[in-house]
Structure 1
Amino acid sequence: MAILNREEAQALMQKVLSHSKADECEISLRGTEGGNIRYARNNISTAGDISTISLSVTSSFGKRSGTASINEFNDEALKRVVARAEELAKLAPENPEYTQLRGPATFKESAGYVEATAKMTPDDRAEAVAKSINAAKDAQLEAAGFIENTTSFNAILNSKGLFAYDKDTDVIFTITTRNSAGTGSGFAGRGFNDVTKLDTLTATKIAAQKANNSVNAKALEPGKYTVILEPVAATYMLENMFRGLDARSADEGRSFMSKKGGGNRIGEQLMDEKVNIYSDPFHPMLPGNTWNREGFPLEKTNWIEKGVVKNLAYSQYWAEKKGVKPMPMPSNIIMDGGDSSLEELIKSTEKGILVSRLWYIRLVDAQTLLLTGLTRDGTFYIENGEIKYPVKNFRFNESPVIMLNNVEALGKVERSISIESYRSYLIPPMKIRDFTFTSLSDAI
């Protein structure tokens, strides 16, 4: 029962709504099913399947609201969850930020659901993992990895007549390879809606090459370097910035988008002219949800255009307070790139450092978005357009905003996953000048 189609979801929520006595009532329904395999030291360690479905009811009397949730769906349970939400609403204080529910709307269908991914079996996952393990063995390395496929749906329905439904699929794969001496390490991560695009063999070979090539790393002095960030490294760095595309946090002085003296930085030249960041739920390489939790449609939106801040997200409440049109947070993020391959970016570099991956990134200063973190899984010195040798890992202190002011070149856009959230983005490899490394790390 975990995955309901549009008609089944709507019928169930209509039944729940029929029990409501509140001024306003909103029901949300979500289901997920899928499976995973985790492996380490070239052997599968765990495997499993998951199937969950839950329903939440938010009832409101005036500006008082209460929410209750269930994961059982007999008639008595449906009546009980509505009664509980109404009971909580009557006990709750008034919400000064309460906004009325939206009425009927039509939403375009997302392209995020792929039948081949939804039909993945334990055997399919095992076969994908076997290819990875065999590739690691062939390279005389030990592999540790994870593969998970998920099919999910989301639906909302309210007493004003709004109904929205979305179904999608996702498959993620991460692989770390190391030599037996613990002196070389490589990583690759992939994420797709369509499992037919996932190639675990090639990904593992890339990780293996990184591991074998990173042995006998030399120490370089910390300082400012030209760096080439591979997409998985750039994604993890930039994800921290994407979370700041919110008008309220900017207007209240809590983010890097806050303007000195008050307000936000819409209209300001914040980054290099090469930087274009937008969202588009209908992009064929990265389809996303077409509506948000408040019932607003998601459309293609420019956030940064030629380095200028064009838009920030406004919730319904904050939009009403500021007298502007609501602007939902994006369901995906895309950064334009160039025509160069990673290899061509390396060839164009006189002296620099190739960064395969960043990890353990933490916020230092919210106002400047200064971050600190470490390189890992293959860091290499570039000289005269060639990779000369591996180097020891660095700790960095850098802001993605400053980083995007120092863009020298961008490569071809790739679909990349964040190792923090496992969300997918379209991000190019990027060549950045004056990237700040502050100290060395002995970790590999």
Structure 2
Amino acid sequence: MRMEAFFGFAEQLCDGLCGNEILFANLARESSDFVRLNQNRVRQAGHVRALALTLTLSGGAKQVEGSCDLSGDPDQDLARARTLLAGLRARLAHVPEDPYLNLSLQPTRSERRASACAPASHSAVETLIAAADGLDLVGIWASGEMADGLASSLGHRHWHESVSFHLDWSLYLEGDKAVKGVYSGFRWEPDCLRRRLATLTDGLRAMARPAKTLEPGRYRAYLAPSAVQELMDMLAWGGFDLKSHRTHQTPLLRMVRGERAFDPRISIREEHKRGLVPTFTPEGFLLPPHVDLITAGQLAGCLVDARTAREFGAAVNASSGAPASLALAPGALEECDILARLGTGLWIGHLWYCNWSDPNDCRVTGMTRFGTYWVENGEIVAPVKVMRFDDSLYHLLGDRLEDLTAARELLMSPQTYDGRSSDSAVLPGILVAGIDLTL
């Protein structure tokens, strides 16, 4: 279903409304290729086409919502949507009033089609297999088009369309030894893939050396962008949601109170303009190009969805309280200088199983995994056996932060629970004077 067809479809639904009913129709469309690889061979390949409709019917201060899948057949889909609408109308009379119902009553319009140069899946996978010849590569390729549409009986008409790709892979050695890499974006560059693969291959050779066991303690460390993403995911868990701040449940509560801060080089923002997520909410509100969350180490703002905006009297600036297009500002550390600046310490490629150990102190615990190495005098010496860390982000992003890399990496979410996720983050690596390992 294309934009014009969806808007016409929604108009037919709105023609059947009664009295003070208001209808918001949200469409999610996906056309994706998936390829699963094992031992550097294609083991499973398929294509997914999905079309889902969500209807929100309100009358006065009451609201009900329902969803259904569509087939692509206009007559069949219209009949199915009308049946869903009739069911919502029957429910509406029996639900209580919603004190936080918040719809955009001012009709707005937008259309955005993010440009991309994504490859044909078979061509990309062929390039990958050829570049990884002789290696045990395990991974999954996902690519294709995603679109979101919104139409309402008030006159809202919004459309967002993007094409992207995501490659999530590991090079396996033996036992529990493997190195992990990702490559995602809008523009396919085979040379970039080959460079990343070559870097991982070097890591795999280092992984073949006898592993080093570290004693618990504090170690100087470099955290690659994929490891930083795990820390940002923890901050996304209540760190930037206005409701969490107002109810004092945020892990950044001490920052809210002015008791703690991050390093002045830490600036975090939500970038709606990046092109993956729609710049409108399901309730019809337009989103700003970006929202500053942390500026120069200090709290700058929060994410406010429609219901939170109504509850706390704020302006809507996000579709939810969790960031979907987070960006951490770069630093001055060049990639070629990372090992030399690290000197002796840990090179951490990924973190795993992260959770809050003490949210009041913004303290996170988790495991190292997939490419953590011991470095001496700027040279990788040996892989490090899996260790647990437990440390506060007020230290890792604060008083122990030494630098951030000048280059940043676009990391797209590999999640596919309700279709391909459009969440992403643009992140640098970070060099810290110490990270606490506990066991």
Shift of residue 306, structure 1, vs aligned partner: 0.5
Residue in structure 2 matched with residue 442 of structure 1 by the alignment = none
TM-score (norm 2): 0.87
Shift of 1:299: 1.8
Residue 88 (structure 2) pairs with residue 91 (structure 1): no
Report SS of the residue matched to 1:168.
Answer: strand
Secondary structure of the residue that 2:330 maps to in structure 1?
coil
**113 and 289 in structure 1: CA distance in 2 versus 1, 3 angstrom threshold:** farther
- For residue 387 of structure 1, report the CA deviation from its aligned partner: 2.6
Report the Cα offset of residue 27 of structure 1: 0.8
Q: Which residue of 2 aligns with 1:290?
A: 279
Residues 127 and 254 (structure 1 numbering): CA distance in 2 closer, same or farther, change over 3 Å? same
Q: Distance in 2 between matches of 1:234 and 1:80?
A: 47
Please state how far the C-alpha of 1:407 moved relative to its aligned partner: 1.1
Task: Note the C-alpha offset of 1:308.
Answer: 0.7
Deviation at 1:385? Answer: 2.9
In structure 2, the partner of 1:314 is 304
Shift of 1:418: 6.0
Q: Is the Cα–Cα contact under 8 Å of residues 280 and 288 in structure 1 kept in the other structure?
A: no
- Closer/same/farther in 2, CA of residues 391 and 70 from structure 1, 3 Å limit: closer
Q: 1:100 and 1:279, CA in 2 relative to 1: closer, same or farther beyond 3 A?
A: closer
Partner of 1:35: 33
Q: Measured at CA, do residues 333 and 306 of structure 1 come closer, stay the same or move farther in structure 2, by a change above 3 Å?
A: same
**Residues 386, 208 of structure 1: alpha-carbon distance in 2 compared, 3 angstrom cutoff:** closer
Provide closer, same or farther for how the CA distance between residues 207 and 305 of structure 1 changes in structure 2, counting only shifts above 3 A: same
1:34–1:151 contact (8 Å) kept in structure 2: yes
Q: Would you say the 8 A contact 1:57–1:82 is kept in 2?
A: yes
Deviation at 1:352, TM superposition (A): 1.6
- 392 and 342 in structure 1: CA distance in 2 versus 1, 3 angstrom threshold: farther
Which residue of structure 2 lines up, in the alignment, with residue 10 of structure 1? 7
Cα distance in 1 between the residues matched to 2:176 and 2:86: 61
Q: Given the superposition, is the C-alpha separation of residues 34 and 88 from structure 1 closer, same or farther in structure 2, using an over 3 Å criterion?
A: same
Sort the Cα spacing of 1:128 and 1:42 in 2 relative to 1 into closer, same or farther, 3 A: same
Q: What are the within-5 Å matches in structure 2 for residues 32-431 of structure 1?
A: 32-72=30-70, 73-74=74-75, 75-107=78-110, 109-110=111-112, 112-114=114-116, 116-117=117-118, 120-134=119-133, 137=134, 141-179=135-173, 181-182=174-175, 184-196=177-189, 199-215=192-208, 216-243=210-237, 244-258=239-253, 265=256, 270-283=261-274, 288-294=277-283, 295-328=285-318, 330-405=323-398, 406-417=400-411, 421=415, 423-431=423-431
Shift of 1:214: 1.5
Residues 92-145 of structure 1 show CA distances to partners (whole Å, capped at 9, x for unaligned) of 2222222244321244x546342x32xx545224314423541xx1xxx41111
Q: 1:184 to 1:57 in 2, by over 3 A?
A: closer
Tell me, in whole angstroms, the C-alpha distance in 2 between the residues paired with 1:122 and 1:409. Answer: 38
SS in 2 for 1:195: coil
Deviation, structure 1 residue 269: 5.6
Give the C-alpha shift of residue 169 in structure 1. Answer: 1.6
CA contact (8 A) 1:223 1:436 kept: yes
Number of equivalences:
420
Q: 1:27 to 1:183 in 2, by over 3 A?
A: closer
Deviates more, 1:196-205 or 1:213-222: 196-205
Distance 2:34 2:186 in 1: 15
- The whole-number CA distance in structure 2 between the counterparts of 1:110 and 1:367 is 41
CA distance in 1, matches of 2:373, 2:79: 63
> What letter is aligned with 1:393?
V
The alpha carbon displacement at 1:288 in A equals: 4.4
Is the alpha carbon distance of 1:25 and 1:219 closer, same or farther for their aligned partners in structure 2, counting shifts above 3 Å?
same
Task: Identify the range of structure 1 (415-424 vs 125-134) with the bigger mean alpha-carbon deviation.
Answer: 415-424
Question: Could you say if the C-alpha distance between residues 199 and 349 of structure 1 is closer, same or farther in structure 2, counting changes exceeding 3 Å?
Answer: closer
Gap regions ≥5 residues in structure 1:
440-444
Structure 2 residue matching 1:53: 3-state secondary structure: strand
5+ residue gaps, structure 2: 416-420
Report the residue type matching 2:196 in the other structure.
A
Deviations 1:220-251 (A, max 9, x none): 21211111001111112212213421110121
Distance 1:310 1:198, change over 3 A: farther
Q: How far apart, CA to CA, are the structure 1 residues paired with 2:379 and 2:100?
A: 57
CA contact (8 A) 1:175 1:204 kept: no
Q: CA deviation at 1:152?
A: 0.8
SS in 2 for 1:348: helix
For normalisation by structure 1, the TM-score amounts to 0.87
On the 8 A contact 1:67/1:88 being kept in 2, the answer is no
CA displacement 1:269-304 (0-9 Å, x = unmatched): 621111011233335xx6643223332323222211
Of the structure 1 ranges 379-388 and 79-88, higher mean CA displacement relative to structure 2 is found in 379-388
Percent identity between the two aligned chains? 18
Following TM superposition, by how much is the alpha carbon of 1:184 offset from its aligned partner in structure 2, in angstroms? 3.9
Question: For residue 387 of structure 2, what is the amino acid of its counterpart?
Answer: F
CA contact (8 A) 1:266 1:311 kept: no
Structure-1 separation of matches of 2:314 and 2:129: 54
RMSD of the alignment, in Å?
Answer: 2.5
* Distance in structure 2 (CA, Å) of the matches to 1:62 and 1:266: 39
Counterpart amino acid of residue 290 in structure 1: T
Do the aligned partners of residues 339 and 197 (structure 1) sit closer, same or farther apart at CA in structure 2, a change above 3 Å counting? Answer: farther
Q: Which residue does the alignment assign to 2:418?
A: none
Residue type of the alignment partner of 2:295: E
What SS class does the counterpart of residue 83 from structure 2 fall into? helix
